[in-house]
Amino acid sequence: RICQPGGQGLFLPFGGESEQGWDTRLKVLLYGVGLIYCFLGVSIVADMFMNAIERITSQKKKVKLAGTDRQITVQVWNETVANLTL
């Protein structure tokens, strides 16, 4: 096992041999907090990405109707494509 004395893994244990002597409950707590911290970071980045995609796909432009002086507002992105992108 990786977290037992003498065990090793690709990344864990972070503290080397000294960490392997720690209480198992402490290691579970520390690695759990680290995991939650990483998930929080991923969720923040994903939220920023989704806001950017939503802003891009909600763009509109004005189009002049042929033969008249009227303009209409149309979406740049097709609604189906925009939803699939999100």
pLDDT in tens, 3-56: 666 767 767 667 667 777 788 899 899 989 999 999 999 999 999 998 888 888
Give the Cα separation of 33 and 35 in Å (integer). Answer: 5
Contacting residues for 28 by C-beta, under 8 A, at least 6 apart: none
pLDDT at 73: 92
